[in-house]
Amino acid sequence: MAVRVINEKCKGCSICIKNCPFDAITMVNKIAVIGQACTGCGVCAEKCPFHAIEKVEEDKAHIDLSQYKGVWVFAEQRNNKIMPVAIELLGEGRKLADQIGTELCAIVCGSNIESLTEELFAYGADKVYTADYPELATYTTDGYTKVIFEAIEKYKPEIVLLGATHIGRDLGPSLAVKANTGLTADCTKLEIDPVDKKIKQTRPAFGGNLMATIVCPNHRPQMSTVRPGVMEKAIYNPSHKGEVVKLDVQFHEGDIRTKVIEVIKTLHDAVSLTDAEVIVSGGRGLGNAEGFELLKELADKLGGTIAASRASVDAGWIDHSYQVGQTGTTVKPKIYFACGISGAIQHIAGMKDSGCIIAINKNDTAPIFDVADIGIVGDLYQIIPAIIEELDKQEA
């Protein structure tokens, strides 16, 4: 959906400007002009007392799908370090690109990011689009949307993949609205039809009780955000090289409406659940926040990290960034300890692919035992200290 001002009808009353929730309208020569920030929400069309703004349905017949080529991966970086999910997306993107005989590209935004291109080539990108500007030093929805949307308009990728990180979940919908295309959020599986080149994007639906497969038949690019930790990482090959395309971006006043004053890192920054090889996770069975200190003791001994079920997060015992599951992080460690976790489907969705699942629960009928490789029935406050003691003995 888009909107258009009918100049002959516009009286310059400014009512639309006051009502636009996205500050997307300006007055030029007493006529309303709709700018880049427009999301197509349609509020202005409803508010204009002179019916001078009309909603324009896109004419599907006018989109020539064959113009769109290439698989793009949004190479999210933080502090000039490529996020692991971007490497996973390059791995998945490579498979999709090979199946439809097209190129795999990465697009990276930031400031002083030149050094990242070699890494992206080594992870399989054939081409890297870079936008290296001080305005992009920290993520803003407006800045990144402007740059990537302009690149999409110019180079017309047929597929754009983003990580379902905080940034990807913000940027993906913003880009999809501007590009007037669909977006499937939080995918856990991607497949492509090599003939019609439509991606089948699968994601959990209805509280994880069924998997929905979604296609985007009439619009391009096809866009997905993909859960971190689900796809296999691309293989690193430093001899793989490619082409750099520097994006020429002109920033104008008002293009970026937010200013990042300070980035406050949470103490969780040191922990990466998706990369951890050992995770000791605690649920409501811990009974209190202090229980995580015991779990941390075990995790430290094994060189791992702690995590949590949603019940622990909801109880305020631990930050949400530690949550494993459907509405948390998907993890694939070598060893996953589930301590005092019942094994609800939404929790299992986020850890079932772990190498070895060790469940500690005092209820022998808890569903967690159905997915566990090793099940220990008993009180975690007796069992975990016993495991720690045993590890201490082995160390000694």
Of 92-100, 111-119, 174-182, 277-285, which part binds ligand FAD (CB under 6 A)? Answer: 277-285
Classify each residue of 199-223 as buried b or exposed e, where b means 16 or more C-beta atoms within 10 Å of its C-beta: bebbbbeeebeeeeebebeebbbbb
Binding test (CB under 6 A) with ligand SF4, winner from 33, 36, 41, 302: 41
Q: How far apart are the first and last CA of the chain?
A: 68
Binding test (CB under 6 A) with ligand SF4, winner from 26, 33, 36, 40: 40
| Nearest residue to 127 (alpha-carbon basis) of 170, 175, 196, 69 | 69
Distance from C-alpha of 345 to C-alpha of 363, rounded to nearest angstrom: 17
350 binds ligand FAD (CB under 6 A): yes
Q: Which of residues 49-68 bind ligand SF4 (CB under 6 A)?
A: 50, 52-53
Binding test (CB under 6 A) with ligand FAD, winner from 117, 140, 181, 361: 361
Of 15-23, 65-73, 260-268, 299-307, which part binds ligand SF4 (CB under 6 A)? Answer: 15-23
| Nearest residue to 360 (alpha-carbon basis) of 344, 376, 342, 336 | 376
120 binds ligand SF4 (CB under 6 A): no
Nearer to ligand SF4, 20 or 107 (CB): 20
124 binds ligand FAD (CB under 6 A): no
41 binds, among ligand FAD, ligand SF4, none (CB under 5 to 8 A by kind): ligand SF4
152 binds, among ligand SF4, ligand FAD, none (CB under 5 to 8 A by kind): none
Q: How far is the CB of 67 from ligand SF4 (least distance, A)?
A: 26
Residue identified by tokens 């080539």 is 121
| Nearest residue to 3 (alpha-carbon basis) of 154, 175, 177 | 177
Q: Are strands 374-377 and 356-361 parallel, antiparallel or unpaired?
A: parallel
Classify each residue of 292-301 as buried b or exposed e, where b means 16 or more C-beta atoms within 10 Å of its C-beta: bebbebbbeb
Report the half-sphere exposure of 375 (CA within 13 A, side-chain side): 16
Q: How far is the CB of 8 from ligand SF4 (least distance, A)?
A: 11
Binding test (CB under 6 A) with ligand FAD, winner from 222, 326, 330, 354: 326
11 binds ligand SF4 (CB under 6 A): yes
222 binds, among ligand FAD, ligand SF4, none (CB under 5 to 8 A by kind): none
Backbone angles phi, psi at 160, to 5 degrees: -130, 120
User: What are the structure tokens assigned to 259, written together?
Assistant: 């200013």
Sign of CA dihedral 306, 80, 264, 37: negative
Binding test (CB under 6 A) with ligand FAD, winner from 124, 221, 304, 340: 340
Q: How far is the CB of 220 from ligand FAD (least distance, A)?
A: 31
Contact positions toward ligand SF4, by CB under 6 A?
3, 5, 10-16, 20, 22, 24-25, 32, 34, 38-44, 48, 50, 52-53
